[in-house]
Amino acid sequence: MKLCMIGTGYVGLVSGVCFADLGNDVICVDKNNEKIEKLKKGIIPIYEPGLEELVKKNFKNKKLFFSSNLQESINKSDIIFICVGTPTKKNSGEADLSQVYDVAKEIKKSSSRFKIIITKSTVPVTTGDKIEKILSKKKSKKLFSVVSNPEFLREGEAIRDFSYPDRIVIGTNDLRSNRILKNLYMPLISKGAKYINTSRRAAELIKYASNAFLATKITFINEIANLCEKTNINVEDISIGMGLDKRIGSRFLRAGPAYGGSCFPKDTKAITKTADDFKINLTLIKSVIKSNENRSLLLLKRVFRILNGKVKNKKICFLGVTFKANTDDMRDSSSLIMIPSLIKRGAIINYYDPTGKKQELNKYKNVSFSKDIKSAISKADLIIIHTEWNDFKSINFKSIMKKKRFIIYDMRNIYSRMKMKKDNIKYYGVGG
Ligand code: UGA
């Protein structure tokens, strides 16, 4: 099938290359010409394991194309995926849909052959109705069908998540589109993915409700972790004990720093704003947002307690600064709250991240980057394990550390408390 992915951000690029790998002809379009030229040379704008190889392979095999000519790409394609950004509007928490509607206006101008227009970007419920309205001003309803097909890809695991999805959600009442899309996804369905067809509005809401639920699950265990710390219980035991109940499930039940990234913070705000517009108060999700915003401050307070309130001139090393492992993404990472606050109190920060130096941290005095784990931690008074990269999972602290007295605050509970105790290392985890 001939597909066009509009927007070569995370969603558009990963989905585009994966569809090409399944044998479709895919054009990835972006108005940023520089990005397109780089992609043609195999230079990938994001860090995502396996993506570069797949781009190069499918570009070479002429299944994947890159273009900045939107009209031409739309005209050549049968299925158009809208994959542009829907960032949070400043002050309101609402999703900014201007890029989505700009694309709809461009599609309106396209040639008069039947096309399926799909929103893959995360868009509030009723956005599909509005896109349909924009298109039907110019086109006969027989010439297009607007469908919602949300993505459930995690950064760092996106190619695997695309190839082995738990479910594929197609929101449309149009039988023809449903048939075509089921066929498009058949290689994944035949490997076991569940395919569900819902109304367009339901598909839009499934995406937000899923992200809000996962954010709630994380926040739930983070709050339980706070109680564990006061009662000398290891929260990992609680996660295991709860997770074995099939009704609860063990995934996304790991306590840690505040959840971050480009999705949970944005989508939890957007769903409460949409609900407000419909005069529905999503109090649970609102309190999740609040609890998560407060979490970095709670963890900082623990850092102060660990250092007995003496933060000035303390050498603190962050292992990992992105919002989670296996990504270079700094968006809404809790390190961006913790690091500035610690410097303000006079700490000297050094960090190491497997994805390199971060421009977001360049502006701070007393923040430096080390090129490897050893040089990052060797002189630290306190090591904060902020993300759960495999690289951090078997560090021989005793042999690396120059200081006799150092402390580890493991915000991802990577290490065994017992083992640390046995090795005589002062160690703190989250929730216990
Ligand atoms: C999330 C969803 O998991 C995807 O299904 C969805 O498609 C994506 O948002 C999106 O809407 O595009 P992502 O933001 O890449 O994916 O990252 P997650 O792996 O979900 O992690 C989000 C945050 O939760 C991170 O800060 C992570 O460290 C934290 N987390 C996750 C925990 O603290 N504990 C957990 O048990 C799991």
331 token code pair: 């968006």
- In tens, the pLDDT along 157-191 reads 999 999 999 999 999 999 999 999 999 999 999 99
Residue 203 placed within a domain? no
The alpha carbon of 406 and the centre of ligand 1 are apart by a number of angstroms equal to 31
85 lines ligand 1 (CB under 6 A): no
431 lines ligand 1 (CB under 6 A): no
Domain boundary among 225, 260, 292: 292
Using 50, 70 and 90 to split pLDDT, how confident is the model at 402? Answer: confident
| Per-residue pLDDT at 193 exceeds 90 | yes
Q: 105 or 141: whose pLDDT is higher? A: 105
Could you tell me if 127 and 50 lie in one domain? yes
| Per-residue pLDDT at 110 exceeds 90 | no
146 token code pair: 């607007």
Could you tell me if 226 and 320 lie in one domain? no
Ligand 1 binding pocket mutation candidate from 324, 327, 336, 430 (most atoms within 8 A of CB) = 324
Q: Is 74 helix (H, G, I), strand (E, B) or coil?
A: helix
Q: Is 29 helix (H, G, I), strand (E, B) or coil?
A: strand
162 in Cβ contact with 21 (< 8 Å): no
Residues with a catalytic annotation lie at: 263
Q: What is the atom index within ligand 1 of the atom nearest the CA of 158?
A: 15
Residue 204 placed within a domain? no
Q: Count of domains in the chain?
A: 3
The alpha carbon of 400 and the centre of ligand 1 are apart by a number of angstroms equal to 32
The alpha carbon of 264 and the centre of ligand 1 are apart by a number of angstroms equal to 7
286 in Cβ contact with 319 (< 8 Å): no
Q: What CATH number is associated with residue 311?
A: 3.40.50.720
322 token code pair: 């992105």
324 lines ligand 1 (CB under 6 A): yes
Could you tell me if 258 and 395 lie in one domain? no
260 lines ligand 1 (CB under 6 A): yes
Q: What residues contact residue 426 under an 8 Å CB cut-off, 6+ apart?
A: 405, 406, 407, 408
Q: What is the pLDDT of residue 405?
A: 87
Q: What is the pLDDT of residue 206?
A: 98
Alpha-carbon distance of 307 to 229, in angstroms, equals: 17
Q: What is the pLDDT of residue 95?
A: 87
Q: Which residues face 5 on adjacent strands?
A: 28, 81
Query: What's the whole-number mean pLDDT along residues 293-322?
Result: 97
Q: What is the pLDDT of residue 144?
A: 92
48 lines ligand 1 (CB under 6 A): no
Alpha-carbon distance of 37 to 407, in angstroms, equals: 47
The alpha carbon of 172 and the centre of ligand 1 are apart by a number of angstroms equal to 27
DSSP designation for 345: T
| HSE (side-chain half, CA atoms, 13 Å) at 222 | 24
Alpha-carbon distance of 105 to 130, in angstroms, equals: 11
| Per-residue pLDDT at 70 exceeds 90 | yes
Ligand 1 binding pocket mutation candidate from 122, 240, 252 (most atoms within 8 A of CB) = 252
Mean pLDDT of the chain: 95
| Per-residue pLDDT at 426 exceeds 90 | yes
Ligand 1 binding pocket mutation candidate from 14, 120, 122, 154 (most atoms within 8 A of CB) = 154
CB atoms within 10 A of CB 27: 23
DSSP designation for 404: S
Q: What is the atom index within ligand 1 of the atom nearest the CA of 412?
A: 33
Could you tell me if 213 and 281 lie in one domain? yes
Q: What residues contact residue 319 under an 8 Å CB cut-off, 6+ apart?
A: 351, 352, 373, 376, 377, 383, 384, 385, 386, 387, 389, 392
Could you tell me if 252 and 265 lie in one domain? yes
Residue 417 placed within a domain? yes
- In tens, the pLDDT along 39-49 reads 999 999 999 99
| Per-residue pLDDT at 283 exceeds 80 | yes
Residue 20 placed within a domain? yes
Alpha-carbon distance of 87 to 348, in angstroms, equals: 33
Could you tell me if 286 and 417 lie in one domain? no
Domain boundary among 164, 198, 232: 198
Q: What is the pLDDT of residue 91?
A: 81
User: Domain range spanning residue 335?
Assistant: 295-428
| Per-residue pLDDT at 109 exceeds 90 | no
The alpha carbon of 157 and the centre of ligand 1 are apart by a number of angstroms equal to 10
Could you tell me if 301 and 423 lie in one domain? yes
Could you tell me if 256 and 139 lie in one domain? no
Alpha-carbon distance of 417 to 426, in angstroms, equals: 10
Domain boundary among 255, 276, 292: 292
Query: What's the whole-number mean pLDDT along residues 22-31?
Result: 97
Alpha-carbon distance of 51 to 13, in angstroms, equals: 9
Could you tell me if 262 and 306 lie in one domain? no
- In tens, the pLDDT along 234-246 reads 999 999 999 999 9
Alpha-carbon distance of 9 to 7, in angstroms, equals: 6
Residue 86: which H helix or E strand, with range?
none
CB atoms within 10 A of CB 255: 27
Q: What is the pLDDT of residue 171?
A: 98
Residue 10: which H helix or E strand, with range?
helix 10-21
Could you tell me if 151 and 245 lie in one domain? no
Q: What is the pLDDT of residue 376?
A: 95
253 lines ligand 1 (CB under 6 A): yes
Could you tell me if 194 and 71 lie in one domain? yes
369 lines ligand 1 (CB under 6 A): no
SS (H, E, C) 201-253: HHHHHHHHHHHHHHHHHHHHHHHHHHHHHHHCCCHHHHHHHHHCCCCCCCCCC
Q: What is the pLDDT of residue 357?
A: 97
Q: What is the atom index within ligand 1 of the atom nearest the CA of 153?
A: 7
Residue 78 placed within a domain? yes
The alpha carbon of 156 and the centre of ligand 1 are apart by a number of angstroms equal to 10
Could you tell me if 187 and 274 lie in one domain? no
Query: What's the whole-number mean pLDDT along residues 395-406?
Result: 86
